[in-house]
Amino acid sequence: MSLLERHRNIIDFALSSLGRRWKKNLALTLVYAFIVFTLASVIFFTEAVKREARAVLKGAPEIVVQRLMAGRHDLIPAGYIDILKKITGVGQVKGRLWGYYFEPSTGANYTIVASGDPPLEPGTIAVGQGVSRTLHAAVGDLIPLRGTDGAYVSFEVARVFSHASELVSADLIEMPAADLRALFGVPAGFFTDLTLKVRNEKELVVVADKIRRLLPDTRPILRDEILRTYDSLFDWRSGLLLVVFAGAVAAFIIFAWDKATSLSMDERREMGVLKAVGWKTSEVIAMKSWEGIIVSLTAFFGGILIAYVHVFFSSALLFEPVLKGWAVLYPRFQLIPHIDPYQVLALFFLTVVPYTVATVIPSWNAATVDPDSIMRL
């Protein structure tokens, strides 16, 4: 009880001491919180997007088979479907039709896919929120698209995909298979790629190996490989942002080191008075440590809280261009709030602990002065 009371009283004094130098401490807390905010935003965003991508890809086919021509992705003959179906362990094999469409007036790239379920009427399309925003197109509007023959074909917007799917559907245009073949000039009997369902996930590698041997002009892509690509893509992007912020972090370290480690004459005098009136060295150090902990924790939790709001409620507004990576069609989506405690803990140990230690060392030196030194001032 007495220990608690003692520390309560010391914390009271530490708070009043911080208040006395509020300009210095406020500046320090703000810069500190900004750094934590930046790092936490990048970490939260990267992790949430990776989780989102994993969730989306959960429903994706286990294997995608593409045909290669001179090392490039080429159309795949429909006849390959029967060959693949004969492989033991392969369940369903489907042909997919899709392609990219560059819209010069907006500078946007759309992904056009053949409609699946529910099917679309000929001459109609379903568009993602990003496409709808860029072209100002709503249900019932006509969108002209330029075919391979140079002629424009108008499609009526029948549906706009919901916000919930925006992360993956922002740039999407869905249309009937026949319309897509006509628009892109894909001949009958060919698909963009094939998708395979495999009954036993443990057999994926064996099946992929069999595909390579049976159809040497194709490459099987496993879902896990796509997941890894997503992971490394977002890791790369977050890494890029962190490198950009490395300068800011370094500036903060110098600033914080200077502010935290240098004690003003006033502070030294104060510590001398405390020693003279009966504070032990350990109590003076405890007081200065509490000051460091208060600044550190306030900045840390403030930064984390703002980062949380920034990432999960404002869709990472500030880092949008780097982290999301779309040129024109920025998806507007809300990430599902999730915090990895280990990452927060790592951030805590990388910020709060070094800062607190940095404040204690000079206080230690100052607190070991003889208590009678104040009598000579």
Partner 1 sequence: MVELKHITKVFNRNRPDEFTALLDVSLLVRAGKVTVFKGPSGSGKTTLLSIIGAMAKPTSGRVFLEGKEITSLSERFLTEIRRRTFGFIFQQFHLIRGISAIENVMLPATTTGEKHATLRDRALRLLDLFGLSAKARSRVEWLSGGEVQRVAIARALVNNPAVIIADEPTAHLDTRLSMDFLGIMERLNAEGKTIIIASHDPLVYESGMVSRVVEMRDGEIRGPRQSA
List interacting residues with partner 1 (CB under 8 A): 1-3, 5-6, 8-10, 12-13, 16, 19-20, 266, 269-270, 272-283, 370-372, 374-377
Minimum distance, C-beta of residue 363 to partner 1, in the bound complex (Å): 15
CB of 48 or CB of 285, closer to partner 1: 285
Block residue for tokens 């992007």: 237
**Residue with smaller CB distance to partner 1, 163 or 269:** 269
Q: Rank residues 3 and 151 by Cβ distance to partner 1 and give the closer one.
A: 3
Bridge partners, 69 (sequence order):
72
Which C-beta is closer to partner 1: that of 340 or that of 370?
370
Cis peptide before 118 (omega within 30 of 0): yes
SS3 277: coil
What is the spatial distance between Cα 312 and Cα 193, in angstroms, rounded to a whole number?
A: 35
Length of the chain equals 377
Least Å distance, CB 297 to partner 1, is 22
Please provide residue 123's backbone torsions phi and psi, each rounded to the nearest 5 degrees: 85, 5
Q: Please check whether residue 97 is in contact with residue 177, taking contact to mean a CB–CB distance below 8 angstroms.
A: yes
Task: Look up residue 88 and give its amino acid.
Answer: T
Shortest reach from residue 367's CB to partner 1, in Å: 11
C-beta of 62 vs 270, nearer to partner 1: 270
Q: Which amino acid, residue 287?
A: M
Give whichever of 33 and 287 is closer to partner 1, judged by the CB atom: 287
Is the CB of 16 or the CB of 88 nearer to partner 1?
A: 16
For the bound state, the minimum distance from the C-beta of residue 288 to partner 1, rounded and expressed in Å, comes to 13
Cβ-based nearer residue to partner 1, 354 or 371: 371
Distance (Å, whole) CA 222 – CA 62: 6
Smallest distance from partner 1 to CB 234, Å:
49
Question: What is the distance, to the nearest Å, from the Cα of residue 107 to the centroid of all Cα atoms in its chain?
Answer: 25
In whole angstroms, give the CA distance from residue 372 to residue 369: 8
| Residues 6 or more apart whose Cβ sits within 8 Å of residue 353 | none
Q: Which residues pair with 155 in a beta bridge?
A: 143
Nearest approach, Cβ of residue 242 and partner 1 (Å)? 40
109 or 373: whose CB is closer to partner 1?
Answer: 373
**Is 7 or 219 the residue whose CB approaches partner 1 more closely?**
7
CB 270, min distance to partner 1, A? 6
Shortest separation between residue 275's beta carbon and partner 1, angstroms: 8
Q: How far is the CB of 284 from partner 1 (least distance, A)?
A: 9
| Least distance between partner 1 and beta carbon 290 (Å) | 12
Q: Which residues contact 231 (CB under 8 A, 6 or more apart)?
A: 50, 53
**Cα–Cα distance, 108 to 320 (Å, whole number):** 16
Give the count of beta carbons closer than 10 Å to the beta carbon of residue 246.
10
Q: Where are the alpha helices (DSSP H) in the chain?
A: 2-20, 22-57, 80-85, 129-135, 166-169, 177-184, 204-214, 223-261, 265-276, 281-313, 320-324, 341-367
Spatial CB neighbours of 155, under 8 Å, sequence gap ≥ 6: 123, 124, 125, 142, 143, 144, 145, 175, 179
